[in-house]
């Protein structure tokens, strides 16, 4: 408690902290530091307000592998296809742990979840189990199926857009509710109306965690910020605990309805995940809400932004939808027949990588990268954004051009190089399949039903981004005219 200290003790403490920081040498043979590293803050100030752009500039100057100092910690940054593929795919297990990040540990009970947990059997079992549950839920058929939930939400979103009667509106809120509804239906069988007060509370709870996570790096640079009260970040935990007890009360062992039911059965049976507790279940559910709402909502918003900005591309999407589907509504079975629609979504994920630096990784043992020795436990940032704007693979990378993802016959190019919006290897995104399914169904249903255009007399929407936990567009207005 700083207030209880004498000024003298406080000054001695600060001097010791500064000295330790100045004296703490970069571990031997780590990749080079870019210029601009200062005591205490490291490269924090040098990274500036647009870290992706700064990292791109450093890549040009220092190559694909360099070290950035964040406060007291050395973080190795990998850029470009060769270095990232090596770490994420070819030697995945060596880079598959998570570092100690104060805020991440705080809200996940020190890795009792799936996304922040360190590499080991606990991680592998929980992730495998979560995959199986998602697969089981995905295989359900009929109204309660995953596709059924998404199509129902797509219809609700279309009705909501029709209510604006072609007038300008900012649909970020509606899109967020839509994606949160898919995750909440899957997790605990609940959906919310667009103006629902409980949803506002849930959204506040999610935002508090998101802001906290985005501020996490600042907190690790300024450790005294840990004493700032942050009770709000735990309100998401309370919401989830309530759902878990509601599910406990109504659990039907023969007929699990959603993610929480499957997990509670596993807590009782201890069949696939050794020692799984209700606490683990709460943190895993939190992972899905946090990872599965902002990412998908941000991607759909970017797609609609670029489509509005490029009427000729929008017209091609309309033509393909009309030719393949006609007047009915899109289903997943149409997906292989709509290469241009798919290419628009891939190009959106390339040009605006919503998770530009993946989640922070850590080495599981001492690793050699090029001529450098990286000790076990070092934090590693994988700059996925650098893959997607590399002019060697993507000429004129700032141009939105879906054709990049089509071959000469107009078919989607399978597994293009230098493209990993969901990461890869052991820590690949758990929700990739679900996200691709949602994006296809929402995007094609909206474009089947509406023409999007910039409001009269205003310039086209701006492609500047807001970098928080994910990379999302600045608020923008569009008009949606029924077709
Ligand atoms: C991790 C991207 C949607 C759940 C990740 C990572 C990326 C990513 C880049 C980090 C991989 C790494 O650390 O190397 C995306 C994108 C999405 C999306 C671009 C949508 C467009 C979702 C959805 C869910 C989800 C819908 C859940 C249903 C997760 C989880 C992890 C993760 C649990 C942690 C995996 C682990 O630590 O092993 N995602 N994601 N994501 N994502 Fe996603």
- For the ranges 22-26, 43-47, 375-379, the lowest mean pLDDT is seen at 22-26
Question: Which residue from 201, 210, 200, 214 is spatially nearest to 233, judged by alpha carbons?
Answer: 210
Mean predicted confidence (pLDDT) in 218-240? 64
Region 434-454: mean pLDDT is 96
Q: Are 379 and 385 in contact (CB under 8 A)?
A: no
Instruction: State in Å: Cα 437 to ligand 1 middle.
Output: 14
Mean pLDDT is lowest, of 171-180, 221-230, 272-281, 470-479, for 221-230
338-352 tens-digit pLDDT? 999 999 999 999 999
User: What pLDDT is stored for residue 45 in this prediction?
Assistant: 85
Nearest residue (by CA) to ligand 1, atom 37, is 115
| Angle at alpha carbon of residue 91, lines to 106 and 120, rounded to 5° | 40
Q: Are strands 465-467 and 471-473 parallel, antiparallel or unpaired?
A: antiparallel
CA of 391 to the centre of ligand 1 (A): 26
Supply the Cα-derived Rg of the chain in whole angstroms.
Answer: 23
Q: What length does the chain have?
A: 483
Mean pLDDT for the chain overall = 88
Looking at residue 381, its pLDDT comes to: 94
pLDDT at 405 over 90: yes
8-state DSSP, 316: H
Higher per-residue confidence, 101 vs 153: 153
The continuous run of DSSP H or E covering 102 comes out as helix 102-107
Averaged pLDDT for residues 234-251: 91
Structure tokens at 70: 């964040």
Evaluate if pTM is beyond 0.90. Answer: yes
- Do residues 38 and 45 make contact, with C-beta atoms less than 8 angstroms apart? yes
Least confident among 15-29, 249-263, 308-322, 408-422: 15-29
Q: Which atom, in ligand 1's list, is nearest to the CA of 427?
A: 38
Higher-scoring residue by pLDDT: 106, 443: 443
Q: In the predicted model, is pLDDT for residue 211 greater than 80?
A: no
Most confident of 15-24, 171-180, 207-216: 171-180
- Ligand 1: distance of its center to the CA of 431 in Å? 6
Measured CA to CA, the distance from residue 349 to residue 423 in angstroms comes to: 12
Provide the 8-state DSSP code for 42: B
Average pLDDT over residues 179-185: 92
Residue 274 scores a pLDDT above 70: yes
Q: Report the separation in Å between the CA atom of 286 and the middle of ligand 1, taken as the mean of its atom positions.
A: 13
Cβ(240)–Cβ(109) below 8 Å: no
CB-ligand 1 contact for 291 (6 Å cutoff): yes
User: What percentage of the chain carries pLDDT values higher than 70?
Assistant: 88
Which residue matches tokens 């059965």?
265
What's the CATH code of the domain at 54? 1.10.630.10
Percent of the chain with pLDDT over 90: 66
Q: pLDDT band at residue 445, thresholds of 50, 70 and 90?
A: very high
Nearest to 422 by CA among 356, 366, 469: 356
Segments of 287-413 assigned E as strands? 361-362, 367-369, 372-374, 379-383
For residue 353 and ligand 1, the question of a CB distance below 6 A is answered with: no
Give me the domain span that covers residue 374: 2-482
Q: Taking the CB of residue 351, how many other CB atoms lie within 10 A of it?
A: 19
- Distance of CA 299 from the midpoint of ligand 1 (Å): 13
What's the pLDDT at 223?
56
Predicted confidence band at 234 (pLDDT cuts at 50, 70, 90)?
confident
Determine whether the shortest distance from the Cβ of 259 to ligand 1 is under 6 A: no
Average pLDDT over residues 367-373: 94
The per-residue pLDDT for 428 is 97
CA–CA dist 374, 75 (Å, integer) = 10
Q: How confident is the model at residue 41 (pLDDT cuts 50, 70, 90)?
A: confident
Say yes or no: CB of residue 470 within 6 Å of ligand 1: no
Give the confidence band of 167 by pLDDT, cuts at 50, 70, 90.
very high
Q: Domains in the chain: how many in total?
A: 1
Q: Given a cut of 60, is residue 21 above it in pLDDT?
A: no
b/e 227-266 (16+ beta carbons within 10 angstroms → b): eeebeebebbbebbeebbeebeeeeeeeebbbbbbbbbbb
User: Which residues lie below 8 Å from residue 108, measured CB to CB, with a gap of 6+?
Assistant: 115, 116, 117, 283, 286, 287
Statement: residue 479 has pLDDT above 70: yes
Taking 50 as the threshold, does the pLDDT of residue 2 lie above it? no
Taking the C-alpha atoms of residue 170 and residue 168, their distance in angstroms, rounded to an integer, is: 7
For 288, phi and psi rounded to 5 degrees?
-65, -40
């Amino acid at each position: 408690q700083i207030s209880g200290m004498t000024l003298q003790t406080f000054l001695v403490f600060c001097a010791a902290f500064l000295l330790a920081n100045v004296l703490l040498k970069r571990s031997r043979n780590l990749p080079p530091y870019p210029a601009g590293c200062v005591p205490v803050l490291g490269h924090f100030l040098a990274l500036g307000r647009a870290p992706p752009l700064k990292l791109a500039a450093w890549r040009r100057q220092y190559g694909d592998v360099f070290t950035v100092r964040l406060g007291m910690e050395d973080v190795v940054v990998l850029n470009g296809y060769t270095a990232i593929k090596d770490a994420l795919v070819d030697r995945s297990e060596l880079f598959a742990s998570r570092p100690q990040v104060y805020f991440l540990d705080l809200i996940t009970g020190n890795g009792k979840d799936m996304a922040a947990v360190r590499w080991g059997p606990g991680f592998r079992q929980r992730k495998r189990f979560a995959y199986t549950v998602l697969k089981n839920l995905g295989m359900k058929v009929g109204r309660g199926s995953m596709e059924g939930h998404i199509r129902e939400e797509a219809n609700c979103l279309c009705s909501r857009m029709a209510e604006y009667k072609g007038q300008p509106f900012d649909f970020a809120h509606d899109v967020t509710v839509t994606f949160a509804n898919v995750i909440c239906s899957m997790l605990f069988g609940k959906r919310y109306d667009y103006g629902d007060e409980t949803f506002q509370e849930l959204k506040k709870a999610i935002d508090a965690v998101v802001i906290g996570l985005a501020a996490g790096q600042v907190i690790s640079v300024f450790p005294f910020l840990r004493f700032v009260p942050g009770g709000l970040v735990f309100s998401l935990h309370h919401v989830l605990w309530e759902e878990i007890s509601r599910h406990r009360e109504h659990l039907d062992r023969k007929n699990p309805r959603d993610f929480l039911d499957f997990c509670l059965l596993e807590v009782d049976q201890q069949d696939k995940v050794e020692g799984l507790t209700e606490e683990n279940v709460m943190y895993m559910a939190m992972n899905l809400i946090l990872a599965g709402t902002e990412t998908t909502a941000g991607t759909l918003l970017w797609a609609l932004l670029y489509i509005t900005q490029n009427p000729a591309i929008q017209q091609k999407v309309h033509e393909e939808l009309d030719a393949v589907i006609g007047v009915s509504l899109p289903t997943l079975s149409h997906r292989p027949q709509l290469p241009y629609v798919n290419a628009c979504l891939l190009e959106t994920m390339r040009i605006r990588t919503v998770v530009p630096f993946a989640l922070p990784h850590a080495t599981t043992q001492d690793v050699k990268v090029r001529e450098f020795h990286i000790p076990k436990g070092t934090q590693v940032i994988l700059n996925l954004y650098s893959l997607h704007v590399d002019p060697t693979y993507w000429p004129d990378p700032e141009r939105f051009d879906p054709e990049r993802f089509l071959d000469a016959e107009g078919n989607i190019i399978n597994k293009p190089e230098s493209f990993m919006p969901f990461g890869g290897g052991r820590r690949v995104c758990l929700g990739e399949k679900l996200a691709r399914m949602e994006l296809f169904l929402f995007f094609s249903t909206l474009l089947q039903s509406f023409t999007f255009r910039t409001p009269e007399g205003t310039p086209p929407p701006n492609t500047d981004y807001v970098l928080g936990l994910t990379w999302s567009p600045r608020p923008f207005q569009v008009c949606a005219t029924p077709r």
